[in-house]
Amino acid sequence: MANEPTQPGSEAEDADAMAAEWEKMAAADEAGEAAPEGAAAGGDGVPARVLNQDEIDSLLGFKESGAGGDDRSGIRAILDSSLVSYERLPMLEVVFDRLVRMMSTSLRNFTSDNVEVSLDNITSVRFGDYLNSIPLPAMMAVYQAKQWDNYGLLTVDSALIYSIVDVLLGGRRGTAAMRIEGRPYTTIERNLVERMIHLVLSDLSGAFEPLCPVNFNFERLETNPRFATIARPGNAAILARLRIDMDDRGGRLEIMLPYATIEPVREVLLQMFMGEKFGRDSIWENHLANELKSTDVQIEAVLDELTMSLREVMNWKVGTQVLLNSTPQSPIDLRCGDVTLFSSSMGRKGLQVAVKIDQRVMKRDELE
């Protein structure tokens, strides 16, 4: 009971102590704000640099650029660059430039309109990422490279589809093509676009003609990306984006060639210019061929051949006779090393044994 009068005083003292502590904390915060930016010192007195949000975004590569957001930097650029190992193919750029010129002429004859074809860019992408990035609705044509025994993909976006249909069916100039979303493409639209795809594939075959003969044959037309799968999602592919303009109408056309498809002609596409020989000299090749023809070689006349086991050969002794299955009239092979050159017959000329060449032995590649 004696301590009861002192309780109110102790509570007041606790409140005063708490208020004093708050004042100290507030003063410390004010002192920290008054200090220069990044001057928060560590234990050794060295100022520590604190990054703001813009610097962090720039370092990670998530800062949006004013041009269009395509330029990437920082860690994000490093990660994106490791996704696809792009091998520059100089002759492939020449092929697509030739394709642009050929398509400009063929599409003008096809549509009877002023058509301008331009090449936007040639990039390397993952096949799965490309399928997921196709804006729907669109038409995807699967075509086969017959000589390369593989497939490719050609994508026509909806703007180009409706523009082609509008132009071929007599739409007025100066009016944008009417787009009706939310419905499947009609048979007429598919047939008209398929005719244009046949024309593009024919021009693509002609663009590759100076390098290597190849025929791109149309296989099927799909509207669902799942049914247009021609490679594994992780496989790399070359993607060429083309822009087709018809006055105030037009759209995009994308040609995709997996690296597995162009592998048979990769060395040709790696050339810096058309007809490059990679250091080969035709003059020295002809000189070497002429000198080889005047080289002395040793010719062997093989009377007969027997196949025997090693045990029988090891049992041979002095006086052992080996019977051959040939007669004086049997043909004799003339060989240079392991290559049989001629078939001949045995004879005699004066005091020497001679052979008479009857016919030349044709090689397998010569028969084909």
Q: How many other C-beta atoms lie within 10 A of the C-beta of residue 218?
A: 16
Where do the domains of the chain lie? Answer: 90-269, 296-314+328-367
**Are 126 and 237 contacting, i.e. CB atoms less than 8 angstroms apart?**
yes
Q: How many other C-beta atoms lie within 10 A of the C-beta of residue 240?
A: 22
What pLDDT, on a 0 to 100 scale, did the predictor assign at position 154?
93
Q: At what angle are helices 90-111 and 158-168 packed, to 10 degrees?
A: 30
Q: Could you give phi then psi for residue 84, rounded to 5 degrees?
A: -130, 125
Collapsed DSSP state (helix, strand, coil) of residue 46? coil
Strands 249-258 and 150-157, sheet pairing: antiparallel
What pLDDT, on a 0 to 100 scale, did the predictor assign at position 82?
44
What pLDDT, on a 0 to 100 scale, did the predictor assign at position 38?
43
Q: How many other C-beta atoms lie within 10 A of the C-beta of residue 222?
A: 17
**Are 270 and 276 contacting, i.e. CB atoms less than 8 angstroms apart?**
no
Predicted structure pTM score: 0.54
DSSP β-bridge partners for residue 254: 155, 241
pLDDT tens, per residue, the chain with 368 residues: 444 444 445 566 667 777 777 777 766 655 554 444 444 444 555 556 677 777 777 766 665 544 444 455 556 565 555 445 456 788 888 889 999 999 999 999 988 888 899 998 888 888 888 888 888 888 999 999 988 889 999 999 988 888 888 888 877 665 655 556 667 888 888 999 999 999 999 999 999 988 888 899 999 998 888 888 888 888 888 999 999 998 778 889 999 999 888 888 888 888 776 554 544 567 878 888 888 888 888 888 888 888 889 998 898 889 888 888 877 778 888 888 888 888 888 888 888 888 888 888 777 655 45
Pick the CATH number of 296-314+328-367 from 2.30.330, 1.10.3470, 3.40.50, 1.20.272: 2.30.330
Strand order in the sheet with 300-302: 300-302, 332-336, 339-349, 352-360
- Residue in the block written with tokens 């301590």: 3
What CATH class has 90-269? alpha beta
Strand order in the sheet with 150-157: 115-126, 236-246, 249-258, 150-157, 138-145, 216-222
What pLDDT, on a 0 to 100 scale, did the predictor assign at position 36?
47
Q: How many angstroms from the chain centroid is the CA of residue 54? A: 37
Both tokens assigned to 112: 């009877």
